[in-house]
Structure 1
């Protein structure tokens, strides 16, 4: 199987999309966490909400997304180089389930 440079560039674009998504989640996490601190300063009392914890989870999730993107990028590059590329159905499915569990957990904490 002949691998063209466009295959490697497509893999790199996908990796950069993972990075962009992770950075967005981290940024959003900081906004949520700082908003909680801002409300505490504004009200002068410690708020009973979970905004700080939600922000921390979003920051951690952003890091997880970046780490996953790096792992997939490196594995795909190796597979393209060796001519053994296969879609990662199981790995992607497990990652999607982990993200869904985290999202549902956060959603149930809000209720």
Structure 2
């Protein structure tokens, strides 16, 4: 998982289903935590860290910290508490909400 030593930009909520090509039983078992969020016509890559891994389940919302590749664009475009489509590669796997920004 890519989440060590990252600067996290947002507190968010993910509600995702299990991607077709993985064998994980729950989100904490998935070794890939690099997804993309669609805002308008563009996708923005992010890495997430599950805040309460023991409680996270597929198809139920769970709290995460999010680190974006282009954080300045997310601050400019994303609105708190609005749902955005989440992709794993080309597969739509659910949605994300940005709950709040983390001050750096």
TM-score bucket of the superposed structures, by smaller chain: under 0.3
Q: Which has the higher strand share?
A: 2
- Give the TM-score normalised by structure 1: 0.22
Instruction: Indicate the structure (1 or 2) with the bigger Cα radius of gyration.
Output: 1
Instruction: Give 1 or 2: higher helix fraction.
Output: 1
Bigger relative contact order, structure 1 or 2 (CA pairs below 8 A, ≥6 apart):
2
**TM-score with structure 2 setting the length:** 0.22
